[in-house]
Amino acid sequence: MKYVSSVLAVLILFACSLTAVAQKGKIIVEIGNLRNNSGKVLAALYNSEKTFMSERQAVATGQATITSQTAQIVFEVPYGEYAIALLHDENDNGKMDSNLFGIPKEGYAVSNNAKNSFGAPKYVDAKFRLDKPEVRQKIEIIYW
């Protein structure tokens, strides 16, 4: 009886590990509307409203070179709810540059091409689900 219990426990653990592996997918971010090929595109991936667009609280980050005014970034992460924030860092200084009034000088965007007339886009508008092996987000950069 002990042998059967041990074998059963091992099979359950093996099945659970297979489920965990199958629960990972790719988020392919296709970035367009870049006004030039200067600098690079910086990306941050968030999984909660509380951390959305908070510096150093992204679950993953990435960057891409720009070719023909387009770029692509791929995140491989567990299934779940996410939102993406992008920056066209034209001068390659690693941050968003803004004018005296706080208006961005460089392009930016978030997933679902969510926009907000007053202030930064909201997580609720930018969130999407990764619940299959591959999800694509086509995002257009916005300039002021």
* Residue 121, phi then psi, degrees to nearest 5: -60, 155
Helix %, strand %, coil % of the chain (to 5): 20, 40, 40
- As a whole number of angstroms, the distance between CA 88 and CA 41 comes to 5
User: Does residue 106 contact residue 88 with C-beta atoms inside 8 Å?
Assistant: yes
If phi over 0 gives left and psi between -120 and 50 gives alpha, with beta otherwise, what is residue 102?
left
Instruction: Indicate the pTM of the whole model.
Output: 0.84
Q: Is the distance from CB of 34 to CB of 66 less than 8 angstroms?
A: yes
Dig out the tokens for 106 from the structure.
């460089």
CA angle 49, 89, 107 (to 5 degrees): 65
| C-alpha dihedral sign at 31, 35, 37, 38 | negative
Q: Which domains does the chain have, with CATH numbers?
A: 25-140 (2.60.40.10)
For residue 90 the two structure tokens come to: 């034209």
Task: Report the C-alpha gap between 140 and 143 in whole angstroms.
Answer: 10
**What Rg, from alpha-carbon coordinates, does the chain have?**
19
Q: Output the tens digit of pLDDT for each of the chain's 144 residues.
A: 555 455 444 445 455 555 555 599 999 999 999 999 999 999 999 999 999 999 899 999 999 999 999 999 999 999 999 999 999 999 999 999 999 998 899 999 999 999 987 888 999 999 999 999 999 999 999 998
